[in-house]
Amino acid sequence: MAAATAIPTPEQKLVPTPVKDVKIQGRITNGYPAYEGKVPYIVGLLFSGNGNWWCGGSIIGNTWVLTAAHCTNGASGVTINYGASLRNQPQYTHWVGSG
């Protein structure tokens, strides 16, 4: 025989916590240096919309880059940076946008 009881719990209101505006710096933990050509399928994505933000991505086809879904929220365009060992020194860029 089994028995279960459901006890209602008071509703909790979640209050958003503001996120500090942090300058992007190297935040890789336990990584290793990537020499030129080591990871040719990795790209940096500089999104524009209501402000600018960075995300990473992986080239998965001739015309496809895979990134996290939340990165594209509110984006009107993206500059794809590739061929770089340093995020702000890409060898190539390509802009994609709506309009």
Domains defined for the chain, CATH in brackets: 42-97 (2.40.10.10)
Q: What percent of the chain has pLDDT over 70?
A: 71
Across the chain, mean pLDDT equals: 81
- pLDDT value at residue 64: 94
**How does 49-81 read in b/e, with b if 16+ C-beta sit within 10 Å?**
eeeebebebeeeeeeebebeeebeeebeebbbb
pTM for the full predicted model: 0.65
| Lookup result for tokens 């006890």 | 7
> Can you give the pLDDT at residue 9?
64
Question: Token pair for residue 49?
Answer: 């919309």
Higher pLDDT, 20 or 68: 68
Q: Which has more confidence, 21 or 35?
A: 35
Percent of the chain scored above 90 by pLDDT? 37
